[in-house]
A and B are shown apart, each in its own frame.
Chain A
């Protein structure tokens, strides 16, 4: 079945460090890919998305490129801030299906 596998957390970095959170997927069709962020005690917010191969989603300094050849959608940021501390979820949606399939989430903590 369709699935998403994320880099295991928690991840702890210092402020201004480079961030990569790995995400790979398995899908029977051609999925759209998403990154969502969840701040403590809140719901999920869409961070970025990509709908086809080689698309790059970007927002708030975060980027992720849809790599069909490696079935990956890794999240990157060049210089993280304390305010980026949150849980990050990679997700996919298959054409024709309504629901999202989430990865297990990666907890990120940025220390000043």
Chain B
């Protein structure tokens, strides 16, 4: 089945550090990738949608200069949390979809737990 790899699985770093999270589709070409944020015991909040070769579309309230998204190839998208602060600590999850069409499921990575000290 479709596999999405997310790396790293856990990051602990000091305030002010920029952190990059990678999301790769291993056995299919991901035309669209999604980045979510999940707070403890809560649902997923969509942060942005990115299509390969295009600028990401950010959801309302998500700072695009804070959360930089790059989707330069059909198998890789990255999320960079710039100058991270403790309030950015969260569980970040990516997903990928191979084709256009609402009935094609998104395949999720295992998530990255980010802890900013």
**Residue A77 CB within 8 A of the other chain:** no
Residues in B whose Cβ lies below 8 Å from that of A41? 111, 113
CB nearest neighbor in B for A10: B41
The stretch among A13-21, A67-75, A89-97 that forms the contact with chain B is A89-97
Bound Cα distance A93, B32 (Å): 14
B103 contacts A32, C-beta separation under 8 Å: yes
CB nearest neighbor in A for B100: A98
**Residue B43 CB within 8 A of the other chain:** yes
B32 contacts A98, C-beta separation under 8 Å: yes
**Residue A22 CB within 8 A of the other chain:** no
Residues in A whose Cβ lies below 8 Å from that of B93? 43-44
A102 contacts B111, C-beta separation under 8 Å: no
Is the interface on chain B under 10, 10 to 19, 20 to 34, or 35 or more residues?
A: 20 to 34
By secondary structure, the B interface counts as: strand
B102 contacts A49, C-beta separation under 8 Å: no
B105 contacts A34, C-beta separation under 8 Å: yes
Residues in A whose Cβ lies below 8 Å from that of B102? 31-32, 93-97
B44 contacts A102, C-beta separation under 8 Å: yes
Bound Cα distance A95, B100 (Å): 10
Contact partner, A103, options B32, B43, B108, Cβ 8 Å? B43
**Residue A60 CB within 8 A of the other chain:** no
B105 contacts A46, C-beta separation under 8 Å: yes
**Residue B34 CB within 8 A of the other chain:** yes
Chain B residues near A (Cβ < 8 Å): 4, 6, 32, 34, 41-44, 46, 49, 93, 95, 97, 102-103, 105-111, 113
Chain A residues near B (Cβ < 8 Å): 31-32, 34, 36, 41-46, 49, 51, 89, 93-100, 102-105, 107
